[in-house]
Structure 1
Amino acid sequence: MMNESTIQDFLEYSQMVRGCRPKTAEAYAIDLKVFNTFCAIHYPHVDNPSKAKIVVDYIRYLRIERNNASAAVGRKLATLSAFIDFLILMELLDSKQDQRKKWPKLLDTPKRLPDVLENKEMQDILSQPDTTTILGRRDRVILTLMYSADLRVSEICSLRLIDISFTEKRILICGKGGRERYVPLDSIVEEALEEYLVSRTSEISELFVSKKGGALTPRAIQYMVKKYAETAKIQKKVTPHKLRHTCATHLLQEGAHLVSIQKLLGHKSLSTTQIYY
């Protein structure tokens, strides 16, 4: 039941049927590999991965031998639960054997607010790109979008010219799980975009072009953010995701409604956005 073939079928099902993103499937694969390792040591002939005793021992294994925090344990149990759903769906496990109702509930962990930048630190980073160059103008647009429109790195990389509507003052974003949303095209982003597009000559559909003429990669953006944070002499560790957290936190401090922030961030559930509250 926990063989490689069944796990591979589950991963393909997750992407092709449920529509999970490749990174989600990768996370599933890692989590199930951990469970397989645990089973190989303690339950080499497991026939029902939903058994409460197995799960209790698995939690103990994660906490003691792997030193996993509650959040990591919870994620691994969620992956195991999704795999069990698949086994039942494919009639590899009888639903009457499902013992998930007996699983122990993990205690809630204290809520930790995301680490964010101060307003001056953010402005110092935004002022770093050399806007006398095409790459500097491109970078200023990217930094401004991450901060003012709350975009993920993947969303910036996949952004296309046709997604920008100057007449309707909005940008179409393709987010996680293929979910689409619009974010406002404010005056600061619009001005930076217009300056960049004047000197942009590439024929590719993606909005942001690399130095070599191809689409910009997530790694390139991560390096860019780190570089500008260092030149701005920011002492904190700065990543693209931290700019996203900073935007959400600053909006909340300025009085924005939590639901509005949820829509801007592209969160499927309001509970995900509530970490800022």
Structure 2
Amino acid sequence: MAERDLLVDAYLQHLKVERGLGKKTLEAYAADLSGLLTFMDEESLELSEMDPPALSGWLLMLSARGLSARSQARHLSAVRGLFKWLLLEKEVKADPTELIDGPKILQKLPNVLDREEVGRLLSMPDRAAPRGRRDAAMLHTMYAAGLRVTELCTLPTGDVNLESGFLQVLGKGDKRRVVPLGAVARKRIEAWLPDRAEMAKPNAKALFVSTRGKGMTRQSFWKIIKKYAAAAGIQKNVTPHELRHSFATHLLLGGADLRAVQTMLGHADIGTTQVYTHVTGDHLGRMHEKYHPRG
């Protein structure tokens, strides 16, 4: 194995052990960095020989392959992290990424449902039937706690405290956070628990299980939310992500603190949360234009 490959492997090990990054995040880093290694192979370059012109050539290669500006920026972010670490480890004498500007990205604002649409969506499951009670509990939990779809589907029963009204959520990078649940979601979960006791296999840990008694899959929940969105007559493209986006946007519109929303969403970087301020800003702008006498 070439020295550059060994150094990249050592960096990935650093991210795993010292930064505590999860498996999927590490796989994404490895995939992005492998593109750089491929370029270096083609150009017969070592890491110590990478300078700003060489990095510009690598970015041009990514662009020629048809990668979007957002994908290029993600690749560059992974490479920036690598060279910062190499500099600290004294494997390179300078960080060539410091002189490289990232590709310009048009920020894509998240799609959100308004409160009336969320209300219609949450009311769709038939709570007279076990599956309807499960679906209602899942939808209410996702909207009440702003969970990622994987967090929702893998949520263990033991991490739900209905008495206190809080969830313990295991998020990205195996980082735990505590999220309030809300009164309505608590009631929906309480209504589902007797059905779960009958449906779940003895070794099932997940709060939400399928009719086969095993934990729900991401794909199953995607189908569920699509079905109820269509039944509710919602024209927007509704996915679990949109329900999470709606959670954050509605909190900010209600006056919630940005840092609190960041914590509840499990964002490591507040910049990720700040995209929602653009959505709420657009909403406030429309309200001002509609209702202000000089709007």
CA contact (8 A) 1:2 1:36 kept: no
Aligned residues: 272
- Residue matched to 2:194: 198
Cα deviation, 1:176-203, whole Å, max 9, x if unaligned, reads 2222222112110011011001222133
CA contact (8 A) 1:229 1:238 kept: yes
Q: CA deviation at 1:88?
A: 5.3
Shift in CA distance, 206/187, structure 1 to aligned 2, threshold 3 Å = same
Deviates further, 24-33 or 139-148? 24-33
Matches within 5 A, 1:155-174: 155-174=151-170
**1:59 is aligned to 2:55:** no
Could you tell me the TM-score, scaled by structure 1's length? 0.87
Which 5+ residue runs of structure 1 have no aligned equivalent? none
Could you tell me the TM-score, scaled by structure 2's length? 0.82
Q: CA deviation at 1:9?
A: 4.8
- Residue matched to 2:139: 143
- Residue matched to 1:181: 177
Letter in 1 for 2:30: A
- Residue matched to 1:208: 208
Letter in 1 for 2:35: V
Cα RMSD (Å) of the superposition?
Answer: 2.4
Shift in CA distance, 106/98, structure 1 to aligned 2, threshold 3 Å = closer
Cα separation, 2, equivalents of 1:254 and 1:75: 32
Shift in CA distance, 252/17, structure 1 to aligned 2, threshold 3 Å = closer
Cα deviation, 1:68-99, whole Å, max 9, x if unaligned, reads 333222210111223334555666x33x1443
- Residue matched to 2:130: 134
- Residue matched to 2:26: 25
Shift in CA distance, 86/256, structure 1 to aligned 2, threshold 3 Å = closer
CA contact (8 A) 2:56 2:100 kept: yes
Which 5+ residue runs of structure 2 have no aligned equivalent? 278-295
Matches within 5 A, 1:93-132: 93-94=91-92, 96-101=93-98, 103-106=99-102, 109-132=105-128
- Residue matched to 1:82: 81
Letter in 1 for 2:117: E
Segments of 4+ in structure 1 off by > 4 A?
1-10, 85-91
Cα deviation, 1:141-177, whole Å, max 9, x if unaligned, reads 1111111210111211221222122222211112222
Deviates further, 250-259 or 4-13? 4-13
